[in-house]
A and B are shown apart, each in its own frame.
Chain A
Amino acid sequence: MNIFRLAGDMTHLVSVLVLLLKIHTIKSCAGISLKTQELYALVFTTRYLDLFTDYISLYNTVMKLIFLGSSFSIVWYIRRHKIVRRSYDKDQDTFRHYFIVLPCLVLALLIHHKFTFKEVMWTFSLYLEAVAILPQLVLLQRTRNIDNLTGQYVFLLGAYRALYILNWIYRHYTEPHYVHWITWIAGIVQTLLYADFFYYYFQSWKNNVKLQLPA
Chain B
Amino acid sequence: QFHEDVKDEL
Interface residues of A (CB under 8 A from B): 5, 9, 12, 47, 50, 54, 56-57, 60, 63-64, 67, 113-114, 119, 122, 164, 167, 175, 177-180, 183
List, in ascending order, chain A residues with CB within 8 A of B9's CB.
5, 164, 167, 183
B9 to A, closest residue via Cβ: A5
Total of A-B residue pairs, C-beta within 8 Å: 29
B7 touches A56 (CB 8 A): yes
A56 touches B3 (CB 8 A): no
A113 touches B3 (CB 8 A): yes
List, in ascending order, chain B residues with CB within 8 A of A47's CB.
10
A-B contact pairs, 24 of them (CB 8 A): A5-B9, A9-B10, A12-B10, A47-B10, A50-B7, A56-B7, A56-B8, A60-B8, A60-B10, A63-B10, A64-B10, A67-B10, A113-B3, A119-B3, A122-B7, A164-B9, A167-B9, A175-B5, A177-B2, A178-B6, A179-B2, A180-B6, A183-B6, A183-B9
List, in ascending order, chain B residues with CB within 8 A of A119's CB.
3
Give the number of residues in B that approach A within 8 Å (Cβ atoms).
Answer: 8
B3 touches A114 (CB 8 A): yes
List, in ascending order, chain A residues with CB within 8 A of B2's CB.
177-179
Q: Which 9 A-B pairs have the closest CB atoms?
A: A180-B6, A56-B8, A177-B2, A63-B10, A9-B10, A113-B3, A183-B6, A60-B8, A50-B7
